[in-house]
Amino acid sequence: MQHLYKIAKKFGHSLVDMFASLVQIECNNKNIKNAKGIKIFSKIKLFIDQKQKQEFTGDLLFTKYGLSGLAILDLSYYIAKYEKYAKLIYRPL
């Protein structure tokens, strides 16, 4: 893959660091793991420095590893982008 970056740079393209997006969220919260298999329609908000940055509404699926579902997948790009600063809050609708 590195050789492709060299070729792109050679043609004047700028490159940015890659990170995962459209992924599930892994967490160690016991309550979330105990709810595995439950799906709810939720509004999910992403906060950074106590300011809301993004909000998505959709399915939230509790899994044995954490959270998934359409709302999580939609929000996962932003969570990955701001991972060091992000705080996720969800509320069932």
| Count of structural domains within the chain | 1
pLDDT digits (tens, 9 = 90+) for 51-86: 898 999 999 999 998 999 999 999 888 887 777 666
Q: Is residue 47 part of a domain?
A: yes
What's the CA gap between 1 and 64, in Å, rounded? Answer: 33
Residue 10 located in a structural domain: no
Q: Is residue 12 part of a domain?
A: no
pLDDT in tens, 10-62: 999 888 777 677 888 888 888 888 999 999 999 988 888 888 989 999 999 99
Please report whether residue 70 resides in a domain: yes
Which CATH number covers residue 58?
2.40.30.10
pTM for the model stands at: 0.68
Q: Is residue 1 part of a domain?
A: no
The residue segments making up the domain with residue 81 are 17-92
